[in-house]
Structures are given as C-alpha cells and as structure tokens.
A = this chain, B = another copy of it.
Amino acid sequence: MDKGIWIMKSTYPVLALARTFALGALLTLGLPAQAQTDPLPSWNDGAAKKSIVDFVKDTTTPGSTRFVPPAERIATFDQDGTLWVEHPMYSQVMYILESVPALVKAKPELAKVAQFSTVLEILKGDRAAIAKLTVADLEKLAAATLTGMPVDTFNAGAKKWLAEARDPRWKKPYTELTYLPMQEVLKYLRASSYKTWIVTGGGQDFVRTYAEAVYGIPPEQVIGTAGGTTYGYARDGKPFLTKAPKLLLNDNNAGKPEGIHLMIGRRPVMAVGNSTGDQQMLEYTQAGDGARLSMLVLHDDAKREYAYGPAQGLPDTKVGTFTQALYDEAKKQGWTVISMKNDWKKIFAFE
C-alpha cells in the first residue's frame, strides 16, 4: 500500500486515472489493500470472527496449505434466519397469506374452501388461526398463489408486495431486516474473489426478485425451492413462461446439497445456516478436501432480535428449528456456532 499511497499524493491527472484503476485492481485482486481496515466491523472479536478472517486469509494467500483457487471459491448461505429475520413467520409465508384476498376476489368460490377462509380469518386479526394450517394446507395455498401465472406477472406481484409489506415488530420492509454482520461477510468474501450463493428453502423465484438489490447476489446465484415452468405463446405470438405447479427441487435438508449439485455443480468450501434444514449442506461442504468453513447462526438475542430453539432449552417455534442434536453435531464436527448476542456488535444497519 505504500506505493498506492504514494500514487494518491500525485496531482497529475494521468496519475489520478492510473490511481483509480490501480486501487480498483487492488481491491479486485484482494491484495493487502483491505488488510488495513477491519472487513467485519460489526463483529465483536472472538472465535467466530477469527474463524472467518483466518479462513479468508488462508484460502486466498498463494502458497498457503489452505489456498483455494479463485474458481473454486464458492460460499453458500441459507437465507431465513441466516441472512435476515425469519420470525415470527418466514416472509414468503406472509406473502402467500397476504396474496389470498386478491385471489379470492378474482375467484369468489375460494372463500368457501377451508384453507382460504382460514387465511382470511388470520388476516382479519385472528393470528392464532395460523395454527390451524397444516403443511398440506400451506402447500395448497402456495400452489394457488405462486403458480399458474406468467413469470413476469409473478415477479411484478412479489416486488410490489415486498415494497409495501412491513414486518410487524420493526414496521420496516422485510428487505431492511438483513443482518449487518452477514452483509459484511458477503462483501468481504466477494472482495476476496469468492462467489456468494443463497441456498434457501424459500421459493427460488421469490428470493431472486430482490436478492441482487438486497444482498448483491444476482438471480443466477440464488438456489431455492423451485418449480417448473411451461413455455408457451401469447396471442400475438410472443413467447412467455408460466409458473407450473410442479416441484423440481425441495431445497431443504438433503435437498440443499442436491440443489447445489444441480445449480452449481461443485462443492462449496464455505457454508452458513441456522437450522436443522441446513445440516446436510454443512456436512456436504465439510466433506470436501482442503480448507472448509461451516457455520451456524444461533438466535440467542431475545432483546435485539429473538431467542428460540431447543438447543438453548427454548421452545421449538417450528420456524428455524435448531435442535440439541444439531448443536451437538456442530461441536463434534468443529462447525462454528455464531452467537448473535455475543458475536454481533450490531444486528441491523438501522440500529
């Protein structure tokens, strides 16, 4: 950097130009430029932060025994509960529920169907009625609200909802409830030539509508629960894709490594999750040769966010379940458990 600073002092325009490019190149190449500033300012010093910084340094230092070639620098992140808030309910489930009134308006006969009338009750304020919905009910509601329309129509609807919907506690758009420390990790990895991927149990098309704006992750690096589409033509001959009620990938549990193979075709070197649904992704990542980093976010901060899960002796809220067995496995395998309470200085950018 001494040379870089020397260049910055120059007043010749041509050198200013060179300086701009040189600094850009330094950042792109992940050279020492960033060693001088803390890449993770929202993290408290501790084992979790150290494991990330050591991993990135080791895997990007040529000659290191843990060096990973740039092409193989794949890092995968669960979304709900790992990159943003998942309580009291996954935002996409809120999207499904809140899409029901418009659907019932278009097809009034649905108001008499049990699942739909239950949702209308929930939305009228009877939040307890949510317990009435079974997984099969939710699947039926998901099929009705997420499929059957052109892809462009779905994308526009999801974007509109995300712009208007508010989290009940913070009264902010869901897209602002991302964890600042994890945003820092994503940026730090990308500045070190890592490709960052989302591997979510949520709907692939849904998450892709905002991942680029919210996380800097392009749609082609979002893997999620995915359905098929059907190619067809409009009356004017213009082709379009319709979302079909056909499940191609259930991107939870074993579906995560299966989805990673389908969409990436190589094993990640780093993976981060927060629930039993992420265990197989972490196992699969860890089973490769060379440097590996597997991490789990523990929701143990009832004050600043939420505290939940059997691993802490707290109730299983069924949203982001972190079992004792998963905690024991993490300890056994040497996976890093991130304590939101102790490891994160700040949780949200708006704090």
Q: Residues of A with Cβ closer than 8 Å to B?
A: 3, 6-7, 14-15, 17-19, 21-22, 24-26, 28, 71, 74, 151, 195, 204-205, 208, 212, 218-220, 222, 226, 228-231, 238-241, 248-249, 254, 257-258, 261-266, 280, 283-284, 287
Whether A14 contacts B21 by the Cβ 8 Å rule is no
In angstroms, Cα B263 to Cα A205, docked, is: 11
Whether B212 contacts A241 by the Cβ 8 Å rule is no
Query: Contact partner of A258 among B26, B231, B284, CB < 8 A?
Result: B231
The verdict on A219 contacting B26 (CB below 8 Å), with A71-B212, A241-B261 known, is: no
Whether B283 contacts A220 by the Cβ 8 Å rule is no
Query: Contact partner of A266 among B6, B21, B220, B248, CB < 8 A?
Result: B220
Across-interface contacts of A21 in B (CB, < 8 A): 18, 21-22, 24-26
Whether A226 contacts B24 by the Cβ 8 Å rule is no
Main secondary structure of the interface of A (DSSP, over half): helix
Across-interface contacts of A231 in B (CB, < 8 A): 254, 257-258, 280, 284
A229 CB to closest chain B CB (Å) equals 5
In angstroms, Cα B299 to Cα A195, docked, is: 38
Across-interface contacts of A208 in B (CB, < 8 A): 265
Whether B222 contacts A265 by the Cβ 8 Å rule is yes
A323 CB to closest chain B CB (Å) equals 18
In angstroms, Cα B71 to Cα A222, docked, is: 14
Closest B residue to A238 by beta carbon equals B287
Whether A204 contacts B284 by the Cβ 8 Å rule is no
Closest B residue to A17 by beta carbon equals B3
The verdict on A280 contacting B25 (CB below 8 Å), with A3-B14, A71-B218, A266-B220 known, is: no
